[in-house]
Amino acid sequence: MRVFVTGASGWIGSATVDELLAAGHEVTGLARSDAPAAALEAKGARVRRGDLDDLASIRAGAEAAEAVIHLANKHDFSNPAVSAAAERAAVQTIGDALAGTGRPFLLASGVAGLTPGRPAREDDPSPYHGPDSPRGGSENLALEFVDRGVHTVSLRFAPTVHGAGDHGFIAVIAAVAREKGVSGYPGDGTSRWAAVHRSDAARLVALGLAKAPAGARLHAVAEEGIPSRDIAEAIGRAFGLPVTSIAPNDVQGHFGWIGTFFSMDLAATSTVTRELLGWTPTGPTLIEDLDAGAYSARPAS
């Protein structure tokens, strides 16, 4: 299949491109600068040069493809409205381009805020609608295109897609620990995060492209929920730092923007996804990765 991948140079995207190429797909990756473009070409993918804001390029890439996997995100966590607006515009553009074709449109999403107080399941719809909601309400917007003849599949990634080289949330928390000289956890440390290893997440994306029905919400979740205290203790072990509770009122000051996420209970199950796709995660757990030094090689930039 000719697959157009946005975010093809990213943490999840680059592993996904490898999976797709290995499965025999012809991949075109969106790249906005020379280095990612060269990396894509070196592994045998094609390149479409363009920025997420260049909607004409996104549209042309989608129209030329037999499937679209949208993994790009601006990730401006200090100004999430910017990322959300770009995300919504890209999803609208891809949906419009694929309308009436029946072609697969897989897009990245998450589990934050879906079901406060209990682990999120695949049959839990996102409460986020409209441009002012988290991620610009992109999951629901994309799923609305099912009625317009698009084979939409939402990829709900665990809040940590971990592994050596990760620059995501766990790397940021580890960087805060190193900077402050103490590995903190919010409050009583019982807020939990679901987790998945990058290799399992990328394999799930490829399986989702091959097998998921239109309208599916897939959970890229290997571990249902790891308490923040366990995460902080593993970071403390990795860097030889003391571990301590950070009082709820001090969380923002201590952690910065990541404190909001680290305080949230972001547990999720993946029973439906595993049964639907025959997907079994095999990668290391988050704590195994931390204990093996996956986050010790270099601090997050």
Looking at residues 91 to 150 of the shown chain, list those that interact with ligand NAP (rule: CB under 6 A): 108, 110
**Using a CB cutoff of 8 Å and minimum separation of 24, what contacts does 41-46 make?**
43/17, 43/18, 45/5, 45/8, 45/17, 45/21
Structural contact between residues 291 and 297, judged by C-beta atoms closer than 8 angstroms: no
What is the nearest approach in angstroms of ligand NAP to the Cβ of residue 8?
Answer: 6
Binding characters for ligand NAP, 57-86, by CB under 6 A (x = yes):
--------------xxxxx-----------
Structural contact between residues 149 and 102, judged by C-beta atoms closer than 8 angstroms: yes
Gyration radius from the chain CA atoms: 19
What is the nearest approach in angstroms of ligand NAP to the Cβ of residue 249?
Answer: 27
What is the nearest approach in angstroms of ligand NAP to the Cβ of residue 220?
Answer: 8
Those residues with Cβ within 8 angstroms of residue 115's Cβ, 6 or more apart along the chain or in another chain: 121, 124
Burial level of 206, CB count in 10 A (0-12/13-18/19+)? buried
Give me the residue label for tokens 């897989």. Answer: 106
Looking at residues 37 to 56 of the shown chain, list those that interact with ligand NAP (rule: CB under 6 A): 51-52
Determine, following the binding rule CB under 6 A, whether residue 157 of this chain makes contact with ligand NAP: yes
The nearer residue to ligand NAP, 33 or 282, going by C-beta atoms, is 33
| Listed ranges 19-27, 160-168, 236-244, 250-258: which one lies at the site for ligand NAP (CB under 6 A) | 160-168
Interface residues toward ligand NAP, by CB under 6 A:
7, 9-13, 30, 32-33, 36, 51-52, 71-75, 108, 110, 157, 159-161, 168
